[in-house]
Amino acid sequence: MTHSAESVLPDDRRALRNVTVLVLAQAVLGAQMPMIFVLGGLAGQSLASNVCFATLPISLIVLGSMMSATPMSAIMQRFGRRAGFFVGTTGGAVGGAIGAIGLMQQSFALFLVGSLFTGIYMSAHGFYRFAAADTASDTFRPKAISYVMAGGLASAIIGPQLVKLTSDSLVVPFVGTYLAVICINLFGSLLFLFLDIPTPPAPKAGAEKGRTRLQLLATPRIAVAIICAMVSYALMNLMMTSTPLAVVGCGFSQNNAADIVSGHVFAMFIPSFFTGHLIARFGAEKIVAIGLTILAAAGAVGLAGVELENFFLALILLGIGWNFGFIGGTAMLAAAHTPEERGRVQGLNDMIVFGCVTIASLASGGLMNCSGGSAQQGWTAVNLAMAPFLALAGAALIWLMLRPRSTV
C-alpha cells in the first residue's frame, strides 16, 4: 500500500492508520484462508468414507461464515470492531485445533466441526473491508476498501508457502498446517490492539434506530449492491472450485492446475491497488458494470475451449471481474446506510452473499462431476450456469442507473 500523507485529507489520518492495521491483518491473518482452502479438500479426501464428500469441509467453512455474519455484525455494532475481530481469531484458533485433533484421530466428523468454527474467522475477515470505511471520508472510502482488499495479495503468497513448509512437517499429514493456523490467529490478533475505530454509541431512548432489515432490502441502492456483490462472489467461487478438476480432467497436470489458480488469485487482488481510485473517479456503478462484463468474458473464454491458455485466460478474467464487482458492490453498500444501520445492513449483506457462495460451492462439484460424461462437458455446464445470474445482476444495475438519483 502506497499512499502519501499529503494526498490524504487531514480527517483521514485516523482512517489511514486503521487501513494500515487492516492491510497487515489481511496479509497475516488472511493467510490461513488459502492454507485451509488448499488442504481442506485433500484432507477431506483422506478422511471421508465417500470421496464425493471430499470438498464438504470447504463448504462448511463458507456455511459457518454465513451463519456467523449476523451475530458477528451485531457484536461489532454493540462492542466495536476490535471485539468482533478478537471473536473471529478465537474462532479461527479453535477451528484449527479441532481440525488438527480430527486429523490425528482420523475423524471426518470432528474435522467438519473444525471447519464450521473456521467459518467464524472467515466471517470476521469479511468485515475488514467495512472497518476500513468506518473512519474514512467519502473521498477516501473506496480507496480504503480497495487497499485492504489488496492485502489479500500478500496472504495469497504467504499461505501457500506455509503449506509447503508445514503440511508434511509431522507424522500425520496436514496436522502441522493446522497447528500453524492456531499460531497465526493467536499472534495475528495482537494487530487489532492498534485499531482506532470508535464503538458506535448506544442509541438513547427514543432515538432514531434507522431502517429495519426489510426496509433496507427495499432500498434500491442497497438491494442492487447486495445482488451485484452476491453474484460476483458466488460465480467466482463456482468457477474457481471447478477449475482444478477440469484442468486435470482435460489431461493436464496438477502443477498446471496450481499455476492457473495462482494466476487467478493474483488477478483477484492486484487490481485492488487502483480499483478504489477508479471508483472515486467514475463511480461504483460503472466499475461494477465493468466487473460483470469481465465475468461474462471469463465464461465465454471457458466455453471457447479446454486448452491450457483458455483456462489461464478465463481464470485471470474471473479474478479481475470479481475484484471490480465485489469491491464496487461493497463501496455502493458502504455509502448507502447510516451509522445506526451499519450492523444490520452489513450482517445482512454478508449472510446473503456467503449463503449464495455456499450454494455455489456445493453446486460446483455437482455440475462438474454429474452433468455430463466427461470433464469437458462438466466444465461447459459450469460456464453456462453463470449466464442467468450475470443477467440478473446486469438487469438490476441498469434498473438502478436509470432511476432518478433522489429515489435510490
Q: Nine-digit cell at 155?
A: 496472504
> What are 82's three cell numbers?
476490535
- Name which residue leads in pLDDT, 180 or 49: 180
Provide the pLDDT for residue 161. 83
Rounded CA separation 114/97 (Å):
7
Per-residue confidence (pLDDT) for residue 302, from 0 to 100 = 95
Cα separation, 266 vs 260, in Å, equals 10
Q: What is the pLDDT of residue 406?
A: 58
User: Which pLDDT does position 3 carry in this prediction?
Assistant: 44
The span from the CA of 354 to the CA of 339, in Å, is 23
Instruction: Say if residue 340's pLDDT is above 70.
Output: yes
pLDDT higher than threshold 50 for residue 308? yes
Query: How many of the other CB atoms lie within 10 Å of CB of 2?
Result: 6
Give the lowest-confidence range in 7-21, 289-303, 325-339: 7-21
Residue 139 CA, chain-centre distance (Å), reads 24
- For 116, 165, 171, the CA distances from 188, given in Å and listed in that order, are 20, 19, 27
Q: Which residue type sits at 215?
A: Q
pTM of the model: 0.77
Is the pLDDT score of 2 beyond 50?
no
> For residue 356, is pLDDT > 80?
yes
Terminal CA-CA length for the chain? 33
Does pLDDT of 286 surpass 80?
Answer: yes
- Higher-scoring residue by pLDDT: 51, 175: 175
| Spatial contact of 292 and 397, defined as CB atoms under 8 Å apart | yes
DSSP conformation letters of 74-107: HHHHHH-HHHHHHHHHHHHHHHHHHHHHHHHTT-
Average pLDDT (8-15) is 68
Higher confidence at residue 365 or residue 187? 187
User: Which three cell numbers, joined as nine digits, stand for 294?
Assistant: 469481465
pLDDT at 243: 82
What is the reported pLDDT for 205?
62
pLDDT in tens, 83-141: 999 999 999 999 999 999 999 999 999 999 999 999 999 999 989 988 998 888 888 88
- Burial classification of residue 408, based on how many CB atoms lie within 10 Å of its CB (0-12 exposed, 13-18 middle, 19 or more buried): middle
- In this prediction, residue 393 carries a pLDDT of 96
Write down all domains in the chain, each with its CATH number in brackets.
11-197 (1.20.1250.20), 213-408 (1.20.1250.20)
pLDDT of residue 8 exceeding 50, the answer is no
Looking at every residue in the chain, the average pLDDT score rounds to 87
pLDDT band (50, 70, 90) for residue 344? confident
pLDDT digits (tens, 9 = 90+) for 192-229: 999 998 887 766 666 667 788 888 888 999 999 999 99
The 3-state DSSP class for residue 251 equals coil
